[in-house]
Amino acid sequence: MTELIERTATTTDVPVVELSMQQAINRALRELLAEDPDVLVFGEDVGALGGVFRVTDGLQKEFGDKRVFDTPLAESAIMGMAVGLAMNGWRPVPELQFDGFAYPAIDQIVNQVARMNYRTRGAAPMPITLRLPSFGGIQAPEHHGESLEALFAHTPGLKVAVPSDPEEAYGLLLQAVRSDDPVVYMEPKSRYWDRRPVRLREPSSPIGASRVVRPGRHATLIAWGAMVQRCVRVAELAAEDGVELEVVDLRWLKPIDTAGLAESVSRTKRAVVVHEAPLTAGLGAEVSALVTENCFGDLAAPVQRVTGFDVPYPAGPLEPQYLPTIDRVLLAVQRTLEY
Higher-confidence residue of 338 and 9: namely 338
Over residues 290-298, mean pLDDT? 97
Statement: residue 4 has pLDDT above 70: no
| Interatomic CA distance for residues 238 and 272, integer angstroms | 14
For residue 103, tell me if it sits in a domain. yes
Structural domain of 266:
211-337
Q: How many domains does the chain have?
A: 2
For residue 55, tell me if it sits in a domain. yes
What confidence score (pLDDT) does residue 202 get? 87
Terminal CA-CA length for the chain? 51
Of 199, 231, 255, the one marking the end of a domain is: 199
User: Could you give the 3-state DSSP secondary structure of residue 265?
Assistant: helix
**pLDDT tens for each residue of 42-61:** 999 999 999 999 999 999 99
For residue 25, tell me if it sits in a domain. yes
Edge-to-edge, what's the strand order for the sheet holding 219-223? Answer: 211-214, 245-249, 219-223, 271-278, 304-308
Task: Supply the CATH number for residue 241's domain.
Answer: 3.40.50.920
Rounded (to 5) percent helix, strand, coil in the chain: 40, 20, 40
**pLDDT tens for each residue of 215-274:** 999 999 999 999 999 999 999 999 999 999 999 999 999 999 999 999 999 999 999 999
Of 199, 223, 243, the one marking the end of a domain is: 199
Task: Give phi and psi for 245, each to the nearest 5.
Answer: -100, 135
Burial 39-58 (b: 16+ CB within 10 A, else e): bbbbbbbbbeebbbbebbbe
Statement: residue 28 has pLDDT above 60: yes
What confidence score (pLDDT) does residue 316 get? 81
For residue 205, tell me if it sits in a domain. no
- Tell me the pairing of strands 13-20 and 195-199: antiparallel
**pLDDT tens for each residue of 154-168:** 999 999 999 999 999
| Same domain as 16, residue 107 | yes
Task: Supply the CATH number for residue 55's domain.
Answer: 3.40.50.970
Statement: residue 213 has pLDDT above 70: yes
For residue 193, tell me if it sits in a domain. yes
Tell me the percentage of the chain whose pLDDT exceeds 90. 88
| Same domain as 219, residue 118 | no
Over residues 164-192, mean pLDDT? 97
Tell me the percentage of the chain whose pLDDT exceeds 70. 96
What confidence score (pLDDT) does residue 12 get? 59
Statement: residue 149 has pLDDT above 60: yes
Catalytic residue among 143, 144, 154, 218: 144
Query: Which ranges in 64-148 belong to alpha helices (H)?
Result: 75-87, 106-108, 116-119
What confidence score (pLDDT) does residue 191 get? 96
What confidence score (pLDDT) does residue 118 get? 95
* Contacts of residue 56, Cβ cutoff 8 Å, sequence gap at least 6: 26, 29, 41, 46, 47, 50, 68, 95
For residue 289, tell me if it sits in a domain. yes
Q: Hey, which residues does 133 pair with through a beta bridge?
A: 187
What confidence score (pLDDT) does residue 145 get? 87
Of 175, 199, 223, the one marking the end of a domain is: 199
Q: How many CA atoms lie within 13 A of 257 on its CB side?
A: 22
| Same domain as 11, residue 129 | yes
Check if 144 is active-site.
yes
- Which residue from 140, 248, 128, 153 is spatially nearest to 188, judged by alpha carbons? 140
